């Protein structure tokens, strides 16, 4: 990002996350993504007169869990309010949201630098429908309408695009990990509004902010921030003034443009939702929910390093996918070298699941118990790393125990004396490669090592073979 020497970026984020309850916030309609337009609707969620909403208890629990996972205080008394505005995506002409009594307050997310991004509040609300533009006409699809949504609002604590991107990633992993949302940005179940202002370095007073609405791609959020920061700096340099307004980021042109609705000037005339009783929770219930939360992925990462002795980098990419991290832990019970498990998962398993979604939804047919058998054979020195990798690939194909592929003979790896003899054969039968290697062709060594590996069907340790051959020829 280009840094304008004179100005500091100040930003705050409002993140909307759809909760993965089975049914909508006030009715029994499904929350499933997609489907035929307006098929997931009923008189309640399209707000027909005379209908009465009934709040979904799971959505309340999920919101509290999100608050607990982000270090918030949970309000034992909370309530829903009507936020009034007229727009076609909102059939009732109001959105049921929370105003002055949100469910969660005063949390934070800690960045890797140790800096804490304060969370002002997390409140529960209903999602709006979706406008679909086609051939110059506008259609509306209310399938998304009334799906429970939380809004996570930070204080204006961000000072760089990197901090914002790290926060989004941490928030996403944290919320996904507790299972209250799939946080799929590409499907719009997690969307960010970025509020940006600039001020001269050293100044205390914040500048006027603009708000870029509804972004759901990390790449484009980064670009939009960069663009908007530069735009405001240049405007101020030219003696202009930033106008408080809502912007849309146009991905194809990498610019922000003013949204027509002057939302910031709007008065929503919030008032308590009369059809829904206040939400009263007990400290005991909050404690139960706290106890039910799985370990935070960042805490888990540090524990993986210390409990299993795996590299920080490996721990980081494994805890990123909760189901794979669970599989790892189930597999390494009583295993002396859990590193072997990490290596196989990262090299072989990940290769079969190239997309993030595949890794996140990990549903590969492989039993932890079978993997544990393979790791035990490795621990006992009965398999070489190469052999283990080959077997693991087979296990991924067929989900069988490694023993299904091994005979007793296979399990006896050649001893050092045998390896020494085979290395001698390799050298004697490949004089040309020996000469080539001595002449500086490093690759020629591979021919010699390959000879031994082939003779033992990959059953011995490649590093040991290499070392033995090197000793013989130098
Ligand atoms: P509103 O309710 O009108 O959207 P809020 O005060 O709740 O306004 O702020 C919305 C978001 O904007 C919050 O994330 C907040 O941190 C951020 N924000 C407020 N003032 C500024 C500012 N001057 N610069 C950047 N971000 C700001
Ligand atoms: Mg706002
Ligand atoms: Zn409905």
Position 27 in a domain: yes
Per DSSP, the residues of 363-386 read --S--HHHHHHHHHHHHTT-S-HH
Say yes or no: 194 and 279 in one domain.
yes
In angstroms, the CA 262 to CA 465 distance is: 72
Instruction: Specify whether 232 is located in the same domain as 149.
Output: yes
Per-residue pLDDT tens over the stretch 27-60:
999 999 888 999 999 999 999 999 999 999 999 9
From ligand 3's centre to the CA of 27, what distance in Å? 5
CB 102 within 8 A of CB 75: yes
DSSP track, 182-232: ---GGGTSEEEEEEEEEEETT--S----EEEEEE--HHHHHHHHHHHHHHH
Q: pLDDT by residue (tens digit) across 251-278? A: 888 888 887 655 555 789 999 999 999 9
CA-closest residue to ligand 1 atom 13: 12
Which of these three, 372, 392, 411, is where a domain ends?
A: 411
Distance, in Å, from the CA atom of 327 to the CA atom of 371, rounded to the nearest integer, reads: 9
CA distance 114 to 124: 29
Residue 118 confidence class, pLDDT cut points 50, 70, 90: very high
Q: Which pLDDT does position 243 carry in this prediction? A: 92
User: Based on the domain organization, do 217 and 303 belong to the same domain?
Assistant: no
- Do 278 and 310 lie in one domain? The reply is no
Least confident of 56-70, 325-339, 429-443: 429-443
Q: Do 280 and 344 belong to one domain?
A: no
Answer with the one of 244, 266, 288 that is the final residue of a domain: 288
Tell me the Cα Rg of the chain: 29
Measured in Å, residue 444 CA sits from the centre of ligand 2 at: 65
Averaging pLDDT over each range in 2-6, 82-86, 286-290, 376-380, which range is the top one? 286-290
- Quick one: which ligand is closest to 51's CA? 3
Q: Tell me: pLDDT of 460 over 70.
A: yes
Residue ending a domain, choose from 267, 288, 309: 288
Q: Choose among 22, 7, 2: nearest CA to 238.
A: 7
- Burial class for 202, CB neighbours closer than 10 Å (0-12, 13-18, 19+): exposed
| 1: in domain | no
Q: Is residue 2 part of a domain?
A: no
Q: Which atom of ligand 1 is nearest to the CA of 14?
A: 14
Residue 330 parent element (H or E):
helix 322-331
Kindly state whether residues 268 and 145 are assigned to the same domain: yes
Are 339 and 385 in contact by the 8 Å Cβ rule? The answer is no
CA of 48 to the centre of ligand 3 (A): 10
Same-domain pairing of 66 and 125? yes
pLDDT of residue 371: 96
Distance 79 CA to ligand 3 centre (A): 21
What are residue 401's phi and psi, to 5 degrees? -65, 150
Structure tokens belonging to residue 331 = 């597999």
Our count of domains for the chain comes to 3
Quick one: tokens of 120? 């002002």
Task: Tell me, in angstroms, the distance from the centre of ligand 1 to residue 52's CA.
Answer: 34
- Of the ligands numbered here, which is closest to the C-alpha atom of 244? 1
Contact of 88 with 140, CB cutoff 8 Å: yes
Q: Of all protein residues, whose CA lies closest to atom 19 belonging to ligand 1?
A: 156
Q: Report the separation in Å between the CA atom of 100 and the middle of ligand 3, taken as the mean of its atom positions.
A: 27
Pocket of ligand 1, candidates 8, 100, 209, 245: which has the most ligand atoms within 8 Å of its Cβ, to mutate?
Answer: 209
Whether 161 is covered by a domain: the verdict is yes
Residues 359 and 222 in one domain: no
- How large a percentage of the chain has pLDDT more than 70? 97
* Closest ligand to the CA of 147: 3
Question: Which residues are near ligand 3, the ion (C-beta closer than 5 Å)?
Answer: 27, 29, 42, 44-45
Looking at the structure, tell me whether residues 99 and 47 fall in a common domain: yes
Choose one of 117, 151, 156, 161 to mutate for the ligand 1 pocket test, by most ligand atoms within 8 angstroms of C-beta.
156
Residue 153 CA: which ligand 1 atom is closest? Answer: 14
Strand-by-strand arrangement of the 104-110 sheet:
73-74, 104-110, 116-126, 148-154, 7-18, 190-200, 210-215, 246-250, 255-258
Chain-centre distance for alpha carbon 285:
28
The reply to whether 199 and 322 lie within a common domain is no
- The range of the structural domain enclosing residue 208 comes to 7-288
The CATH number covering residue 455 comes to: 1.10.10.410
Q: How far apart are CA 15 and CA 40, in angstroms?
A: 25
Question: What's the confidence (pLDDT) of residue 256?
Answer: 87
Q: Which of 15, 154, 195, 205 to probe ligand 1 with, by most ligand atoms within 8 A of CB?
A: 195
Contact 9, 198 (CB under 8 A): yes
30 alpha carbon – ligand 1 mean position (Å): 33
In a domain, 301, yes or no: yes
Kindly state whether residue 81 falls inside one of the protein's structural domains.
yes
Q: Which ligand is nearest to the CA of 194?
A: 1
How many whole angstroms separate alpha carbon 144 and alpha carbon 130? 7
Residues 189 and 244 in one domain: yes
Which of 15, 81, 85, 153 should be mutated for ligand 1, with most atoms under 8 A from CB?
153
Query: At residue 228, does pLDDT exceed 80?
Result: yes
pLDDT value of position 188: 87
Q: Which protein residue has the closest C-alpha to ligand 1 atom 2? A: 264
Question: What is the mean predicted confidence (pLDDT) over 106-115?
Answer: 97
Cβ atoms of residues 349 and 340 within 8 Å = no
Q: Ligand 2: distance of its center to the CA of 210 in Å?
A: 10
Q: What is the pLDDT of residue 411?
A: 64
Q: Which atom of ligand 1 is nearest to the CA of 195?
A: 26
* Ligand 2 midpoint to CA 346 (Å): 41
DSSP 93: S
- Residue pLDDT, tens place only, 186-223: 888 999 999 999 999 999 999 999 999 989 999 999 99
What span, in angstroms and rounded, lies between the C-alpha atoms of 162 and 93?
Answer: 38
Distance 132 CA to ligand 3 centre (A): 20
Residues contacting ligand 1 via CB (< 6 Å): 10-14, 153-156, 195-197, 206, 209
Confidence of residue 419 (pLDDT cuts 50, 70, 90): confident
225 — pLDDT class (breaks 50, 70, 90): very high
Determine, yes or no, domain membership for 206: yes
Q: Which atom of ligand 1 lies closest to the CA of 196?
A: 25
Q: What is the number of the ligand 1 atom nearest to the C-alpha of 157?
A: 16
Atom number in ligand 1 closest to CA 264: 3
Name the residue with tokens 């939804």: 361
pLDDT per residue as tens digits for the range 338-396? 999 999 999 999 999 999 889 988 987 899 999 999 999 999 888 888 889 999 999 99
CA-proximal residue: ligand 1, atom 1 (nearest): 264
Q: Which ligand is nearest to the CA of 8?
A: 1
Both tokens of residue 186?
A: 């590409």
Is position 275 within any domain? yes
pLDDT given at position 1: 64
Q: What are phi and psi of 142, to 5 degrees?
A: -95, 10
Q: Are residues 241 and 345 in the same domain?
A: no
| pLDDT of 331 higher than 60 | yes
């Amino acid at each position: 990002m280009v840094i304008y020497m004179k100005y500091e970026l100040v930003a705050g984020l409002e993140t909307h996350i759809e909760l993965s309850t089975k049914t909508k916030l006030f009715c029994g309609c499904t929350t499933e993504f997609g489907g035929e337009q307006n098929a997931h609707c009923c008189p309640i969620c399209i707000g027909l007169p005379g209908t009465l909403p009934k709040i979904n208890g799971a959505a309340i629990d999920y919101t509290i869990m999100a608050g607990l996972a982000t270090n918030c205080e949970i309000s034992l008394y909370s309530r829903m309010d009507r936020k009034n505005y007229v727009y076609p995506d909102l059939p009732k002409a109001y959105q049921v949201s929370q105003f002055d009594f949100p469910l969660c307050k005063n949390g934070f997310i800690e960045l890797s630098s140790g800096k804490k991004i304060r969370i002002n509040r997390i409140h529960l609300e209903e999602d709006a429908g979706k406008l679909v533009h086609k051939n110059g006409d506008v259609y509306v699809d209310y399938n998304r309408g009334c799906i429970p949504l939380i809004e996570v609002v930070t204080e204006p604590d961000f000072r760089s695009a990197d901090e914002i991107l790290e926060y989004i990633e941490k928030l996403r992993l944290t919320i996904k990990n507790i299972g209250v949302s799939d946080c799929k940005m590409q499907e719009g179940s997690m969307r960010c509004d970025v509020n940006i202002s600039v001020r001269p370095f050293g100044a205390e007073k914040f500048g006027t902010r603009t708000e870029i609405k509804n972004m759901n791609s990390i790449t484009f959020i980064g670009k939009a921030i960069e663009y908007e920061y530069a735009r405001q700096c240049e405007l101020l340099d030219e003696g202009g003034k930033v106008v408080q307004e809502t912007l849309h980021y146009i991905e194809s042109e990498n610019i922000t443009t003013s949204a027509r609705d002057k939302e910031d000037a709007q008065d929503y005339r919030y008032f308590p939702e009369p059809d829904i009783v206040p939400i009263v929770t007990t400290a005991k219930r909050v404690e139960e929910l706290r106890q039910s939360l799985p370990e935070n992925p960042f805490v888990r990462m540090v524990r993986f390093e210390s409990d299993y002795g795996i590299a920080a980098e490996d721990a980081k990419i494994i805890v990123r996918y909760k189901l794979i991290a669970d599989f790892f832990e189930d597999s390494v019970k009583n295993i002396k070298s859990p590193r072997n498990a990490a290596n196989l998962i990262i090299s072989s398993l990940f290769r079969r699941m190239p997309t993030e979604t595949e890794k996140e939804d990990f549903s590969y047919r492989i039993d932890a118990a079978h993997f544990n058998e393979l790791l035990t054979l490795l621990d006992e020195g009965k398999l070489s790393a190469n052999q283990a990798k080959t077997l693991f690939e087979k296990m991924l194909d067929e989900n069988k125990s490694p023993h299904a592929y091994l005979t007793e003979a296979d399990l006896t790896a050649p001893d050092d004396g045998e390896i020494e003899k085979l290395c001698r054969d390799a050298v004697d039968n490949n004089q040309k490669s020996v000469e080539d290697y001595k002449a500086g062709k490093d690759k020629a060594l591979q021919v010699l090592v390959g000879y031994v590996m082939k003779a033992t069907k990959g059953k011995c340790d490649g590093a040991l073979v290499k070392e033995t051959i090197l000793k013989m020829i130098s």
